[in-house]
Amino acid sequence: GESVGLHLPTLSVQEGDNSIINCAYSNSASDYFIWYKQESGKGPQFIIDIRSNMDKRQGQRVTVLLNKTVKHLSLQIAATQPGDSAVYFCAEFLPFNDYKLSFGAGTTVTVRA
């Protein structure tokens, strides 16, 4: 079964607002996490990653936060734009299982104009 899950299957955001997408994981030994964005009919696109020795990592308009105490990570998108409408997946790296990725079911983000 999946060890990574997302709290909400859908998220509707007003253009210009900030978006927060949450994800919980269950394997304490996991040490690497990735956020992907998937647009309709396309493959997942790498957004940002974070290693377990970090609590926060920032990219362009995106920030990932990792809370190892409660096994939770989140993706924050600043000033959400229509092009941010997509499905967002978190993925957990399984170093004890051939370095495979375990994916959550995804959160569909819809940006309202």
Rule CB under 8 A: which residues touch other proteins?
A: 2, 4, 9, 31-32, 34, 36, 41-46, 49, 51, 89, 91, 93, 95, 98-101, 103-106
User: Hey, is 40 helix, strand or coil?
Assistant: coil
Q: Which is nearer to other proteins, 43 or 113 (CB)?
A: 43
Question: 50 or 111, CB closer to other proteins?
Answer: 50
C-beta closer to other proteins: residue 4 or 77: 4
Least distance from other proteins to the Cβ atom of residue 89, Å: 6
* CA-closest candidate to residue 77, choices 62, 90, 87: 62
Q: Which residues contact 68 (CB under 8 A, 6 or more apart)?
A: 28, 52
Report, in Å, the least distance between residue 76 CB and other proteins.
Answer: 19
Minimum distance, C-beta of residue 16 to other proteins, in the bound complex (Å):
28
Long-range contacts of 61-66 (CB under 8 A, 24+ apart): 62/35, 64/33, 64/35, 66/33
